[in-house]
Structure 1
Amino acid sequence: MAPQKESGTDFMKLATLSNGSRYGELVVVSRDLSRYVSARDVAKTMRDAIDDWSSVEAGLQALSEKINGDASVGEAFDVQKAMAPLPNPSQWADGSAYVNHVELVRKARGAELPASFWEDPLMYMGAPDAMLGAHDDVEVGSESWGIDMEAEIGVICDDLKMGLSPEEAADKIKLIVLLNDVSYRALIPGELAKGFGFFQSKGATAFAPVAITPDELGENWQDGKVHRDMLVHYNGDAFGKANAGVDMTFNFPKIVSHAAKTRHVAAGAIIGSGTVSNKDADGTPGKPVRDGGLGYSCIAEIRMIETIESGKPTTEFMKFGDQVRIEMLNDDGSSIFGAIDQQIVETK
């Protein structure tokens, strides 16, 4: 059920609609995702809003209360016209908060997991100029790259001072987003072997249509974690339903603090959780949804489990024409962020 407005809370859903400009137009979306109103008189773009959040928050909140309080307000919200909620972040950095996922990767190749991985998050710096809308095709040069989805949660932050604590970082998380961090698994080993990390092995990142304030999640935003199922459908079949709040070793305040350890970070940074991953109830690697398990948020993970169990993977990476859908629902079945629903296509 959608949360009810309480005194002192800020419930908002924000999106960016394409308007012919590079960074689109900021809009406030109704809680049921059916309608929107322009926020141009408060902030023209999402980046304008996040750069000056303290000044524009009240105006955006007023629009949110208006559209949610009167069903006649606003125009129909077309998710096909939605860009990434923040098309031009100051930074895109992705962590690996689910150490279960990292442990499986290393186990599949016979490597031990260093003890430090349970204390110090992994993180890489991505491409902030490669943000896709929820229904944009994923353009890929070759199927041989090992195309994979990664269903994740991200947070959009206010200015972060260097060395801020996790407690301080919690107050800097302004919005939450749902994302698909496209990865090219066959390119990763060669890049990592060079010692400089990911670059070509990471594709454009896609985002669900709407960014939400943490209060929108009600009691499902606890301890800096989103306690909701990450629903992944692959070519129409249920592929994953891992709970994003379970087995999350590092919460968002921790990984946001980690991102700002050695330098100030400008407002508008998106910090990702890494692939959402759950173990089975008995502590063993998760089973496919078809076998009664929670499934997976990426193809690499099921391939790792296949390798551990039988010596080699049998599930193939994505091919041209494949479809992935990523979504998170309320108890009543309504969509929280809207769905990422995109196809893999060959670049022209």
Structure 2
Amino acid sequence: MRLATYRHRNLRRCGIVDGDSVLPFPEGTELLDVVRTGSVPATGAAVSLAGVRLLPPIEPPSVRDFVTFEEHVEGVRRSVSGAAGVPGAWYDAPTFYFANPHAMIGAHDDVPVPPGSNVLDFELEVAAVIGREGRDLSPGQARDHIFGYTIFNDWSARDLQSREMQVGLGPCKGKDSATTLGPWLVTADELEPYRDADGFLRLALTAEVNGVEVGRDLLSNMGWPFEELVAYASRGTRVLPGDVLGSGTCGNGGCLAELWGLRGRQDPPPLKPGDTVTLTVEGVGTVSNTVVPGATPVPLPPARTRPRTRP
């Protein structure tokens, strides 16, 4: 089943995607409630998908973005910090950072350039969406806690990111402005036929900029399957219905920065207003966003040197 949230005739609605149409749930239904309860309401008369604006399928309580593709780590590390290889700690556990749950945008929304950035990039990922609360889960238990999957594009201001991460804390405004989620939420059972003998989902991933393919990979090249990501995320805490867990960016051109690191130059160039990024995930769908000019940053002064006086 494919579940979408959309705007139609100035109303926010959600429903079941059926071919080129959507079958709406009763007015006022939120997809997060469907995820939380597992109960699918009755549907109304079909509405053409061509006549609606797709919104992010859910408004997630939290967003964890992992980094599970070795090839991506190798290329981006060289691009952002100049270091070669993959850090040994990467192999120990599936590392993640918390992303901004308030920055979700729809499958075809415009993406403003983050204020102050001149080096914008996309990141092709798949996200799992939690359906049941859990804590300290095993990977076997975690599979039953995944409600479904969607495409996740972690838009990244590489110049801001590179500077911020010199502090040693992680990404900040370099990852804060927009994340595409969509085009809809595909229930987990729909993707089971793609599971390989090692337990990974073998889905083809492609990335295009202005109609030119720049990246192609398989989701099954993740270092850990989603069940292990969920288990790790739940360690010592809770995962809740609607929580989003990104796979991390795929390799072989899943973002421009990886290619820059491998080629030693910004080829292809950073994204600019007018560029359109189209990401396709087998079994899930396609999202396509166009970059537009962003706001001018409100200037802030640098840190003041203080005397470090004590009371």
TM exceeding 0.5: yes
Given the alignment of the two structures, is residue 230 of structure 1 paired with residue 205 of structure 2, yes or no?
yes
Q: 1:214 aligns with which of 188, 191, 213?
A: 188
Given the alignment of the two structures, is residue 97 of structure 1 paired with residue 58 of structure 2, yes or no?
no
Task: Flag the 1:235–1:28 CA change in 2: closer, same or farther, 3 A.
Answer: same
Give the equivalent residue in structure 2 for 1:176: 149
Given the alignment of the two structures, is residue 154 of structure 1 paired with residue 101 of structure 2, yes or no?
no
Deviation per residue, 1:143-175 (Å, 9 max, x gap): 744100001100110234332111111110111
Deviation per residue, 1:292-316 (Å, 9 max, x gap): xxx4111011101112xxxx44432
State the shift of 1:142 in Å. 5.1
Task: Flag the 1:297–1:140 CA change in 2: closer, same or farther, 3 A.
Answer: same
Give the equivalent residue in structure 2 for 1:36: 22
* TM-score, normalization by structure 1: 0.77
Which segment is superposed worse, 138-147 or 152-161? 138-147
Give the equivalent residue in structure 2 for 1:271: 245
Q: 2:13 aligns with which of 20, 25, 42?
A: 25
State the shift of 1:106 in Å. 3.3
Q: Which amino acid aligns with 1:100?
A: E
1: distance between equivalents of 2:286 and 2:166? 35
Given the alignment of the two structures, is residue 325 of structure 1 paired with residue 278 of structure 2, yes or no?
yes
Gaps of 5+ in 1: 1-11, 68-72, 278-294, 330-335
Give the equivalent residue in structure 2 for 1:51: 36
State the shift of 1:199 in Å. 2.1
Give the equivalent residue in structure 2 for 1:15: 4
Q: 2:54 aligns with which of 82, 102, 105?
A: 82
SS in structure 1 at match of 2:238:
coil
Q: Which amino acid aligns with 1:98?
A: F
Whether the 8 Å contact between 2:78 and 2:262 is mirrored in structure 1 is: no
Give the equivalent residue in structure 2 for 1:4: none
Whether the 8 Å contact between 1:230 and 1:241 is mirrored in structure 2 is: yes
2: distance between equivalents of 1:313 and 1:148? 11
Given the alignment of the two structures, is residue 260 of structure 1 paired with residue 234 of structure 2, yes or no?
yes
State the shift of 1:343 in Å. 0.7
Whether the 8 Å contact between 1:215 and 1:221 is mirrored in structure 2 is: no
State the shift of 1:80 in Å. 5.0
Counterparts in 2 of 1:123-202, with a 5 A limit?
123-141=96-114, 144-202=117-175
Counterparts in 2 of 1:101-112, with a 5 A limit?
101-107=72-78, 109-112=82-85
Deviation per residue, 1:42-81 (Å, 9 max, x gap): x80111112222xx1xx35x76xxx9xxxxx622223751
Gaps of 5+ in 2: 296-311
Give the equivalent residue in structure 1 for 2:299: none
Whether the 8 Å contact between 1:79 and 1:209 is mirrored in structure 2 is: no
Give the equivalent residue in structure 1 for 2:293: 346
2: distance between equivalents of 1:85 and 1:276? 22
> Please, what is the CA RMSD of the aligned residues?
2.3
Task: Flag the 1:232–1:134 CA change in 2: closer, same or farther, 3 A.
Answer: same
2: distance between equivalents of 1:156 and 1:145? 32
Q: 2:256 aligns with which of 299, 304, 310?
A: 299
State the shift of 1:84 in Å. 0.8
2: distance between equivalents of 1:113 and 1:305? 13
Task: Flag the 1:80–1:18 CA change in 2: closer, same or farther, 3 A.
Answer: closer
SS in structure 2 at match of 1:201:
helix
Q: 1:118 aligns with which of 85, 91, 94?
A: 91
Task: Flag the 1:256–1:340 CA change in 2: closer, same or farther, 3 A.
Answer: same
Q: Which amino acid aligns with 2:16?
A: V
SS in structure 1 at match of 2:285:
coil
SS in structure 1 at match of 2:178:
strand
Q: Percent same amino acid among aligned pairs? A: 27
Whether the 8 Å contact between 1:242 and 1:297 is mirrored in structure 2 is: yes
